[in-house]
Structure 1
């Protein structure tokens, strides 16, 4: 709702900390946002790097591949609970201090993993990572938007979330290459060195970032009392579960359904990450205009890609069409859903992000489980159909329940 001066008080309140901190998006402010974005890159690279090194790590630590898979599962489970716990524990602590502490934890996790003498030590390292990931996703988006003025919030958010796509394109493949060339321990050591470089940049560039307010355990329930936050979290469960039920089996899909050879599959996986990177920045521009519209677009694009897999045929061109649509949707997803929660609870952004992290992690685990059961019982193509249906349900939720009462404004438009 607009006031007599033509401004939106909801968005004005959201932007107040940023206006107090900076009057314009200065170069140092963008460098500070960039340091958070590179931290995101290092976090995601570390989280998913073992996927490409699973067998090597299992052999090196004398465990089965199935047991080694706990390196992926356990950080995600802990991250689901770490976000809400850390938001309460941090109280009124300067968010600069919090982000630096989480980066230190990332460094420690990588170094412990690089020198792990046994699998138990490796799991401790990965649990440390889960704590860092849950905390970073909770604090980073809100902190980044406090560093820039109102008109640049969406761009700052998309820059931070672009670290996810960049890690998919560069970080995870580079980690796998390092592991192949120099051993899996080298991959963790190099990622730890990158995190150390990020730490130095953060120490240099990050200004004080005061919290909006101290958040207690009861305050975590605030988003659950807001209709738009409820709708967003419900949509997240279907959206992300549908995505990961299918994404977990993207490589087998390209091989078995589209009939592609290993080199073609590698090329399309790289394309997937690259267009996802583009989609993230596109999402920043679109979210600035309409969060609901961007979320609905991402859901419809993803559902289209998933359902196309059953009718588009085989071969490289068919696979490329699906991968490009899917990849762009993948890039839009985190920006759209993060923007949704920031709009839904502008006075409790960190609490909203904490619940969003929990929702994401629960949906990822649920989606992977659903996908596994479907692939084992029905095959890959039926799994894609089920995933598409789940995403369509998310689109239905956004389309029918997601219209804000009174017409909530989008995040501030990005200047051309």
Structure 2
């Protein structure tokens, strides 16, 4: 599937990416910041929202489950439906949907209306991430594609550094409703940045259902998606309910600082990963999954130890700060011929992991407690590591075949 590049970029490998092109990347990164802030805002506010709406923390976790489910369904659906529509206009429509979502959540009188707003977020979110990860290489010169992807994903880490903790901070002196209203203001800024800075992104051909079938027919792609689902499931089945775990040992302001530390160290982890990932992708993925396992283990083993839980949160921040970039580059490399299809599948799998992880985690928290939930998370992360090892084994025959071909060619 061929996709035309925007008029602001050139095809020469040696050309330098212009300032206007980098500004377009930053505009998408600001939008990513707004989307992720809105998506995970309830994580730090879960106890307060649950109390005000008269539901248990596990049921309140549906605020994370619902957008994940909608994103999984609509990530491929929206992009297929968009056909050959200029991707710039699709960006603008999806961000408008996010704005409406936050307004609905800010005024929601009950859980049902809240979930309507969160469902709208999920639909916009799925489409946005499909476009963002596929469009990143189109906004800059070819040699800067990985850097552009890393810059956009920096919006994710900034959201965890600033966005989510800021929402928790606002709620500590005002209310969680004002947190959603403030997020709506942030989305408005992102919408303006897109309108003025993102260039035309025409699509020469529409995404087809057959493209998904092609990718699913590849064993490496299927196994890669399983790995992503397991690791993201491990994270969201536990991180969604981190506030109820921490509130026994920390005040709301202290939890805000922990979430800030989680995001801040994740920002530096993302930056470091972007420098080494090109040459050490598998090692980077393995290291981050191992850190995730260590972080969740420490949260269990060192429970009620403020120092131990703080160390666990920081380790967790390092792991999750790098994992989205690691997996995004992994999928980009394995679906280079069908980038939008690969991106849509990647986003759908992540949203399924968020929805299933938070839903199952919420059920376990309400019925068996936090310990059982974290045990599930550890098991999923361990399975993700096993899947990575299987992918390495799967790639060995292909590498050996390529080496044989090279030897044959040199012999000739």
TM-score class, shorter: 0.7 to 0.9
Normalising by structure 1, we get a TM-score of 0.83
Q: Is contact 2:4–2:203 with CA below 8 Å preserved after alignment?
A: no
Q: Is contact 1:84–1:351 with CA below 8 Å preserved after alignment?
A: yes
Q: 1:174 to 1:274 in 2, by over 3 A?
A: same
Tell me which residue corresponds to 1:24. 16
How far is the alpha carbon of 1:270 from its aligned partner? 2.1
* Inter-partner Cα distance in structure 2 for 1:316 and 1:82: 41
Q: 1:374 to 1:128 in 2, by over 3 A?
A: closer
Q: 1:268 to 1:172 in 2, by over 3 A?
A: closer
Aligned residues: 394
SS of 2:399's equivalent?
Answer: coil
Tell me which residue corresponds to 1:412. none
Q: Aligned ranges for residues 10-409 of structure 1 at < 5 Å?
A: 19-20=10-11, 23-53=15-45, 64=55, 69-116=61-108, 121-211=113-203, 213-254=205-246, 264-309=254-299, 315-372=305-362, 374-375=364-365, 379-381=369-371, 383-402=373-392, 404=395, 405-406=398-399
How far is the alpha carbon of 1:320 from its aligned partner? 3.3
Q: Is contact 2:66–2:355 with CA below 8 Å preserved after alignment?
A: no
SS of 1:92's equivalent?
Answer: coil
Q: Is contact 2:76–2:341 with CA below 8 Å preserved after alignment?
A: yes
SS of 2:85's equivalent?
Answer: coil
Normalising by structure 2, we get a TM-score of 0.83
* Inter-partner Cα distance in structure 2 for 1:85 and 1:347: 20
Q: 1:233 to 1:188 in 2, by over 3 A?
A: same
How far is the alpha carbon of 1:380 from its aligned partner? 3.9
Q: CA RMSD in A?
A: 3.2
Q: Is contact 1:212–1:348 with CA below 8 Å preserved after alignment?
A: no
Q: Is contact 1:45–1:167 with CA below 8 Å preserved after alignment?
A: yes
How far is the alpha carbon of 1:123 from its aligned partner? 3.7
Structure 2: stretches of 5+ with no match in the other structure: 403-412
Q: After superposition, give the CA deviation of every residue in 1:373-392 in whole Å (9 maximum; x if it has no partner).
A: 55566654454344223212
Structure 1: stretches of 5+ with no match in the other structure: 1-12, 410-416
* Inter-partner Cα distance in structure 1 for 2:182 and 2:137: 29
How far is the alpha carbon of 1:171 from its aligned partner? 1.2
* Inter-partner Cα distance in structure 2 for 1:114 and 1:397: 41
Q: After superposition, give the CA deviation of every residue in 1:41-87 in whole Å (9 maximum; x if it has no partner).
A: 11122222234445665677x65456655433322211110101012
Q: 1:105 to 1:316 in 2, by over 3 A?
A: same
How far is the alpha carbon of 1:188 from its aligned partner? 3.0
Q: 1:58 to 1:292 in 2, by over 3 A?
A: closer
How far is the alpha carbon of 1:331 from its aligned partner? 0.8
How far is the alpha carbon of 1:227 from its aligned partner? 2.8
* Inter-partner Cα distance in structure 1 for 2:325 and 2:167: 25
Q: Is contact 1:275–1:324 with CA below 8 Å preserved after alignment?
A: yes
* Inter-partner Cα distance in structure 2 for 1:253 and 1:57: 16
* Inter-partner Cα distance in structure 2 for 1:214 and 1:88: 7
Q: Is contact 2:5–2:201 with CA below 8 Å preserved after alignment?
A: no
Q: Is contact 2:43–2:242 with CA below 8 Å preserved after alignment?
A: no
**Greater alpha carbon shift after TM alignment, 375-384 vs 79-88:** 375-384
* Inter-partner Cα distance in structure 2 for 1:56 and 1:317: 25
* Inter-partner Cα distance in structure 2 for 1:105 and 1:255: 33
